[in-house]
Chains A and B, each alone.
Chain A
Amino acid sequence: MTEVTFAILAAAALLFVCRLWAGPSLADRVLALNGLILVGMGAIATHAAHTGTGAFLPSLVAVALVGPISNGMIARFIEARGQ
């Protein structure tokens, strides 16, 4: 069942990459990157639960802390650029 979970997450990542490539504006691409980060978080958590090694789990905490900062920066940039 873990393989099915990984396959579903991979399909979701592919769809996000489609939006990253095709998105007409910068906000769409930021959205797609956020989605890729979420898929990465899910993959790390599933892998940790599957193999039992929790060595990669603090990266989830780090991403959850740093994500809003980068989003805020890009939001300011979008507003300033006007596009």
Chain B
Amino acid sequence: MIGELLALGGATLVLIAAIGVVRFPDALTRMHALAKASTLGVLLILAGAAVNLDDVNDVTSVVLAGVLHVLTSPPASNMVSRAAYLVEGMAGENDAVDEGAWLRGRRGVSPSPQEPGRFGDQAGTSAPGE
């Protein structure tokens, strides 16, 4: 009973995260919505499965999968969000705090028009050879 309730709670969190991925305006903010499902939702489902399983073999498999997932999903989301930020930037209002805008100029990807590069001469330029 407890296991099934845990699995139900985890599935609800995954559904909420899916709604967030559809609703949010920008790739970077959608990563936030997915991080929720990735940490708490799947952990709850795996915990519910571990509670209900009988064989010790299966329980250790589930525990191992949970631990490895928690260890490896942050670097994966780091990589994708870094790529998304460096290429697309942030979809905020024009006065949003964006202290990383100069990074995009440094990388050679041209900054979008409303966020000039950190050094004034980088606004609207692109890397040589692009």
Contacts and interface: CB of A to CB of B under 8 A. Distances in A.
State yes or no: do A and B touch (Cβ within 8 Å): yes
Interface in B35-59: 37-38, 41-42, 45-46, 48-49, 51-55, 57-58
Interface residues on B, range: 35 or more
B18 A28 contact: no
B76 A67 contact: yes
Contacts of B69: 41, 60, 64
Provide the main secondary structure of the chain B interface: helix
B3 interface: yes
A41 B42 contact: yes
A2 B15 contact: no
Contacts of A19: 21-22, 30
A39 B46 CA distance: 12
Given A16-B18, A28-B30, A49 B48 contact: yes
30 contacts: A2-B4, A9-B14, A9-B15, A15-B15, A19-B21, A35-B34, A38-B41, A41-B45, A42-B41, A45-B45, A45-B46, A45-B48, A45-B62, A45-B65, A48-B53, A49-B7, A49-B49, A49-B51, A50-B52, A52-B54, A54-B55, A60-B62, A60-B65, A64-B68, A68-B75, A72-B75, A75-B79, A79-B86, A79-B87, A79-B107
Interface of B: 3-5, 7-8, 10-12, 14-15, 17-19, 21-22, 27, 30-31, 34, 37-38, 41-42, 45-46, 48-49, 51-55, 57-58, 61-62, 64-65, 68-69, 72-73, 75-77, 79-80, 82-84, 86-88, 107, 109, 130
Interface of A: 1-2, 4-5, 8-9, 11-13, 15-16, 18-19, 23, 25, 27-28, 30-32, 34-35, 38-39, 41-42, 45-46, 48-50, 52, 54, 57-58, 60-61, 64-65, 67-68, 71-72, 74-76, 78-79, 82-83
